[in-house]
Amino acid sequence: MADTSTATAQQAAQELRDALQAGFTAQLLRAFVRLGIADLLADGPRDLPALTKALGAHPGALAGFLGACAGEGLVEGEADGRIAVTDRGLLLRPSGSLGQQALWVAGPGASRTYEHITEVVRTGKSGGEAAGQHLYDYYAAHLEEATAYEEVMSELTEGCIDALLEAYDFTAHRRIVDVGGGRGTLLARVLERAPEATGLLYDAPYVVDMARGAQKARTEGGEDGRLEFAAGDFLESVPGGGDLYVIKSILCDWGDEEAARLLRNVHEAAPAGAELLIVDWFRPEPRDGAAQGLSSGGFFIWTLLGGRLRTATEMEDLVRTAGFKITRREPDFAPGFFSWNFLAATRD
């Protein structure tokens, strides 16, 4: 009879070995995307000399790389020696969502934060700060990774927009300011739903450049006079004049001090009676002494950016302290990475 405790330990050890190899695998997938292997093979199999020429690659290194990719199920060898891309490999085309995720989450900017997890735990800093530069500052100078990050964030946003538009009445507002609005995925849809409103997207300069490009793509090169752009640092100031300020998936990226500063800036910019809408992921409230929201996702955000997944109560405390009055809370209005929640408040 087998020793089940020994078998269990051996299985656990193998699982840990696999986990330790995950870093290499992630970089392999990222290289597969950056080299455009799936695109090169999308129209049919090619032999190694043809691929070597197309990539300007070292033939021996490329052969080894493709062998490793075959081990991950991304390519396969044909009977005639040519290499074909698999359906799994086609998911990693550079223009696809998984391809963009590979460029982001396995990119040097994000990867360098993982190297500093020990210091994150000891100091509470983000991994980027421990490495010498906050990840958002890094992205300002590394646009390939910044673009991939914003693409992934836009896709996450797409997953909740329809439910948000049904749950919240944007037509009651005339001037909507999206603070940290990214590529404008949310604000563009909101303005479609609220045809009498105008919108201002406010974000870092390099993100605003991406948002302008995304707007041109949406309108096929035309202009939407109702959607405007402003560049700046929302930890320093926020544009005035809105009757609705939207903060989506932003507060979770920052520690309590920065989140409080952002909310104070919105309060200072907003006129009396303006509404604040926070759309974010909340962690569950602790019950009966349960651990405070243990989750790998929450620590991933902390490591990358120094952010926090907060409970609804913690978020409400931040909002009230900034001077707003809570008017509505809508938990779990849409599924997602974590379930989506929103909180509405007014400025007295």
pTM for the model stands at 0.88
Instruction: Give the pLDDT confidence of 292-313 residue by residue, as tens digits.
Output: 544 567 899 999 999 999 999 9
- pLDDT range class, residue 283, cuts 50, 70, 90: confident
Query: Who contacts 162 (Cβ-Cβ below 8 Å, separation ≥6)?
Result: 334
Rounded Cα distance between 89 and 145, Å, is 21
User: Which candidate, 111, 95, 105, 31, places its Cα nearest to that of 68?
Assistant: 31
Rounded Cα distance between 217 and 215, Å, is 5
Instruction: Say yes or no to pLDDT of 288 above 80.
Output: no
User: Which candidate, 275, 278, 279, places its Cα nearest to that of 160?
Assistant: 279
At 181 the pLDDT is 96
- pLDDT range class, residue 169, cuts 50, 70, 90: very high
At 225 the pLDDT is 79
Rounded Cα distance between 346 and 244, Å, is 9
Q: Which of 106-115, 210-219, 283-292 has the lowest mean pLDDT?
A: 283-292
Instruction: Give the pLDDT confidence of 232-271 residue by residue, as tens digits.
Output: 999 999 999 999 999 999 999 999 999 999 999 999 999 9
Rounded Cα distance between 333 and 348, Å, is 27
What are the E-state strand segments in the chain?
75-77, 83-85, 175-179, 198-203, 227-231, 244-248, 275-281, 324-334, 340-347
